[in-house]
Structure 1
């Protein structure tokens, strides 16, 4: 490098003299033409020689500009190395932050190299690798000047010498054989909260878990002034073959798992649909090199409007999955989110970052029995500390209480009590809401707090929630309100057994009145004899092993379970509440029995194995196929006739086209 630069500088005076000579030659050409009218041919020859000399000087000048650009790059790298060495001398355990793209691609450090902090959208990236290294913040002034230089560079340099690496991403300047120098990161979506290296990292965007969380690809990126739009989603065709008939498609509703008293227990069922095909859009703008604002929208057709049927058009309603805005300030390490998104109770993979939730790679749309999740309105504030190792967040989220009113008479949310009182727990939807669903009375939002820790190996979370079931009891034309206090806590862990290849996930949540945050949708509360809400205790847990043998295959296995307690009373020989032993289960085992089968669910467990294969991946996207085996078991609270269980076996199939990955 130094020899090359010295040689360029030594010949610089000769180039300058040559340039001056050429300029003087052009100036005196008219005079020489007048002095010798018979030398036209010689004059033309002289002009050609001078033009050739000028072209040579211009070529030499371009080479000098390339050499200077290379020197600037080397200077940045040396300053960055000195910055990291200085930081190492003052710390026994230097951190290694990782930058995260909006499409969910991680930027791990190469073996033996320090991971440096990312500044704005400047990166160092080779054309054969999707890995990126950040530039220390101490070099910000140099990069700002380099941005100006790059923007004012000759057009031939900007257009002819810039190449784009495979997979999209950064613009790179080819400065010679075997050498490439990043100029300016052109993709505004690359700026995201900085994340510490934990061996787990952000979702590989191609995996089904990344797709479930809303990971974006690197195709379909459009720039409109300061705003970048990124398309996402996929076309999905999923089906299920099961040994029981449950009319919920690939979305399991485990509480409807039938007993032998129902004929559908004895029939197989096949159902398939493209209704979970998905569309998503991310809009991102950079306020400054350290601050971004973004909006994310995601939808599919997983809802069921009253006109939906499988006999004619299969016209499933367009469904809102996520719609939120986010504000990320990397300078102050502050992150805000407002809108409908995955609840902060949902386990994550790294930090507390939207679209990095730890979700099962399953085909079934309900994911897994025992999975903690919800998508709902929230306002979330998150702060990270200690070089992005520790994250703390608080979120206020939309409340809802799933009541069970077994034994009571429930008329549109008005529950008749044995003493003649009416307990109002909610109302069926009106206006633009669903008129067949009961919307519970709620006095306050759910309050959720979470701590996440990312050491150099693994991701660890602890979390807590408070929930406030609320109703009104009316008797003799007067009434009073009742508010109960529920809540609980839990956490999750991800062990990167073989980073990037094999990971183990554990997660759980336990408490009172929070069962709706589990996939099985067990009841949150029932009523006591006075009509007041009684939160039910519940626990949900899951364990999984996920392997990525190569970039085209994912293999997974999960076990999940969700359980709920009981609360009941008796009055004048009648039974009320949830899990009352006075309820009859005597008719559960006889087909079309005249005896009752109350069957209050006590627990649901599921074990599942599956795999995905990306058999085509190219410039025009990715095509993948998957299959999954699942076995589920439902247990009920004991009553008259005992507590028989039921079960179900399923085989899922899926084909999916991801045009933006």
Structure 2
């Protein structure tokens, strides 16, 4: 250490250059050495073992060179910090090389964005000179709590996953091993193929999950909280067990360098979460293949510009670093609906992002596909055609036709407009966001009609706090506004109707908080609390009651099994508290095998009407078994 600190800036650069040249020479000799050994092993099966051992030694030598480079970068950073603290200058480069040419930009990029030692991720993806790991399983398998893969051991694979340059914020991208990365669409380590200038990267997992709950909600591990029954339903009084492999997932990314500064990529992620018309739970359980994400992305490292087009997680979804895809901050829960109050949607979008100040400040604008989730309690709704008390007709949606499924699609006049700013200081990740939405319908009478458009929207934010970097982090997120309830996991309504047929956006608020710990590479432990609520929007016309949360609605029969006294019970709020853990008990060349368990408690409260405001609750136990062949 004293030796490194005594070096001048020019000497450090010369040593680093020598190490780089050594690495290049070692790599350059590989084709000849491997080719010679392959020929020698052609007729001697025993030589195949020698070939494998020699490859392992070469990989180990490369690893040592990489570790040495990382160590020198740390010494440089420490020396710069010491000089700045002592008032001797702000940079080792300026202190020791006043009359030399500055280093190339690419060289400084690696030192500037180097992650902390022991990190599972690499946060400096230089697309100008991508590095590929020497083997498909370069990282060590678990041999102890403190045995973590060195940064440079996985940087080749991570370069395939993250394309943008990122600033070190103590949070970093998703560690590839965590379930959070899997939920966001992490790609594989082993399934990397190169076809000329294009790289293909496989990802995904085989999943078998079950849930045991004290209420019968026939939605499997996807929680549909608004279907939680009140005591007037028989489903309230019986337990339910259900299991499925339908949320198994596969993903594919193709990427290539357009030029020295820009990269284009395409990402496709699929599962079997859809239920086809022929799906049944009695025999075949033939759930349908569905598109989760499908988008192309363009990243330019010269002007720090990023573009995305296609179906992806909405930009309202909380992130953990920058504003980039596949780094969404999603709960590690087993339930496929994730968490009550979680902000998310997957939909078509055109996203434009620019980053500043060495990748610390990010500004994003996204034009996204709109939909309005209406509640028409009190009205007569016939497939999107709503009978108004004044005799007119309001058309709020139409069922899909042609190649579109036979389900309601709301009338929309303009896309949702979403803006976000993200800040990555040296500690933590912080976001602020806003959205504009435009509910739209048409009111018709015989021979005449007019259109109505309301203005809705809201704002919110999120943060990730690395309490103990790479070990413990706290996540907080929230969104509030009017007409944006569909962006929460509970799917509370966006709007109802006034008695004259105009859209009436409903106020809503949603929030989540969680603590996530990684005691070692084998274990993820988490605890979350989520909450989502909708306000009242109602009106009366003569003796009729209309809208959402109208106090004139009858809730008299909500507490009596099979009662015919009425139970309107518009949902006021849903909360969920949950804890769980994941344990990875196998990891190697064959991939990763892990199991998870989760306990969850949910509560649903209704707006008060005649007979009060009923409530119901549900307790659940989730179990999951997962195999990730590419990680």
Task: Please give the TM-score of this superposition, normalised by the length of structure 2.
Answer: 0.79
CA distance in 2, matches of 1:515, 1:129: 37
Residue 378 of structure 1 and its aligned partner are, at CA, apart by 0.1
Question: Post-superposition shift, 1:325?
Answer: 0.2
2:370 matches 1:423: no
Hey, what does 1:26 align to over in structure 2? none
Shift of residue 290, structure 1, vs aligned partner: 2.3
Kindly indicate whether residue 188 of structure 2 is the aligned counterpart of residue 196 of structure 1.
Answer: no
Secondary structure (helix, strand or coil) at the match of 1:302 reads strand
1:190–1:516 Cα change, 3 Å: closer
1:204-223 aligned within 5 A: 204-223=175-194
Contact 1:511 1:539 in 2 (8 A): yes
Q: What SS does structure 1 have at the residue aligned with 2:258?
A: strand
Which whole-Å CA distance do the structure 2 matches of 1:414 and 1:480 have between them?
Answer: 15
Equivalent residue number for residue 269 of structure 1: 240
Alignment partner, residue 626 of structure 2: 656
CA distance in 1: counterparts of 2:408 and 2:115, whole angstroms = 55
> Using a 3 Å threshold, how does the CA distance of structure 1 residues 424 and 544 change in structure 2: closer, same or farther?
same
Change (3 A) 1:267 1:131: closer
How does 1:196-595 map onto structure 2 within 5 Å? Answer: 196-435=167-406, 437-595=407-565
Asked if structure 1 preserves the Cα contact closer than 8 Å seen for 2:123 and 2:166, the reply is no
Partner of 1:32: none
Contact 2:309 2:349 in 1 (8 A): yes
- The root-mean-square deviation of aligned C-alpha atoms, in Å, is 3.4
Distance 1:522 1:564 in 2: 7
Q: 1:573 to 1:187 in 2, by over 3 A?
A: closer
Quote the offset at 1:588 in angstroms.
Answer: 0.5
Equivalent position SS for 2:109: coil
| Cα gap change, 1:466 to 1:192, in 2 (>3 Å) | same
TM-superposed CA distance for 1:186, in Å, is: 9.8
SS of match in other structure, 2:374 = coil
**Partners of 1:225 and 1:381 in 2: CA distance:** 29
Residues 471-522 of structure 1: CA distance to partner in whole angstroms, max 9, x if unpaired? 0001232000000000000000111000000000000000000000000000
In 1, distance between residues paired with 2:385 and 2:310? 31
Q: Render the CA deviation track for 1:171-229: whole Å, top value 9, x for unaligned.
A: xxxxxxxxxx99x9799726711100000000011211110000112111000000000
What is the CA distance between 1:264 and its match in structure 2? 0.9
Q: Flag the 1:208–1:418 CA change in 2: closer, same or farther, 3 A.
A: same
Which consecutive residues of structure 1, in runs of 5 or more, have no partner in the other structure? Answer: 6-65, 95-114, 148-161, 170-180
8 Å Cα contact 1:117-1:135 kept in structure 2: no
Cα contact 2:136–2:190 (8 A) shared by 1: no
Gaps of 5+ in 2: 4-10, 15-60, 92-106, 141-151
Match of 2:147 in 1: none
Q: Indicate conservation of the 8 Å contact 2:579/2:598, yes or no.
A: yes
Question: Cα–Cα, structure 1 residues 407 and 118, in superposed 2: closer, same or farther, change >3 Å?
Answer: same
Within 2, Cα distance between the matches of 1:620 and 1:301?
Answer: 24
Distance 1:334 1:300 in 2: 31
Query: Does the 8 Å CA contact 1:168/1:218 hold for their aligned counterparts?
Result: no
Q: CA deviation at 1:129?
A: 9.3
SS of 1:196's partner is coil
Aligned-partner Cα distance in 2 for 1:165–1:85: 36
Is the 8 Å Cα contact of residues 137 and 189 (structure 2) preserved in structure 1?
A: no
Deviations 1:349-388 (A, max 9, x none): 0000100000000000000000000000000000000000
Cα 1:528/1:93, change in 2 over 3 Å: farther
Aligned counterparts of 2:328 and 2:125: Cα–Cα separation in 1: 28
C-alpha contact (below 8 Å) 2:443/2:452 kept by paired residues: yes
Alignment correspondent of 2:52: none
Aligned residues: 537
Helix, strand or coil: the match of 2:581? strand
Shift of 1:289: 3.1
Q: Cα gap change, 1:375/1:206 in structure 2, threshold over 3 Å: closer, same or farther?
A: same
Give, in whole Å, the separation in 2 of the partners of 1:374 and 1:589. Answer: 34
2:592 corresponds in structure 1 to 622
CA contact under 8 A between 1:123 and 1:135: conserved in structure 2? no
Runs of 4+ residues over 2 Å off in structure 1: 88-94, 122-126, 128-137, 162-169, 184-191
- Alignment partner, residue 643 of structure 1: 613
SS at match of 1:210: helix
Q: Distance in 2 between matches of 1:559 and 1:129?
A: 28
**Equivalent residues of 1:544, 1:556 under 8 A apart:** yes
Does the 8 Å CA contact 2:312/2:347 hold for their aligned counterparts?
yes
**What is the CA–CA distance in structure 2 between the aligned matches of 1:312 and 1:499, rounded to whole Å?**
48
Partners of 1:442 and 1:136 in 2: CA distance? 41
Does the Cα contact within 8 Å between 2:386 and 2:393 map onto a contact in 1? yes
Tell me the alpha carbon deviations over residues 211-257 of structure 1, each in whole angstroms, 9 at most, x when there is no partner. Answer: 00001121110000000000000000000000000010000000000
Shift in alpha-carbon separation, 1:292–1:527, aligned structure 2, 3 A: same
Aligned to 1:356, the other structure's residue is in SS state coil
Instruction: Give yes or no for contact 1:369–1:561 (8 Å, CA) kept in 2.
Output: yes
The change in CA–CA distance for 1:529 and 1:624 in structure 2 (over 3 A counts) is same
Equivalent-residue separation in structure 2 for 1:129 and 1:487 (angstroms) = 39
Q: TM-score, normalised on structure 1?
A: 0.76
Change (3 A) 1:592 1:134: closer
What residue is the counterpart of 2:22 in the other structure? Answer: none
**Mapped pair 1:117 → 2:78:** no
Q: Specify whether residues 289 and 646 from structure 1 end up closer, same or farther in structure 2 by C-alpha distance, changes over 3 A only.
A: same
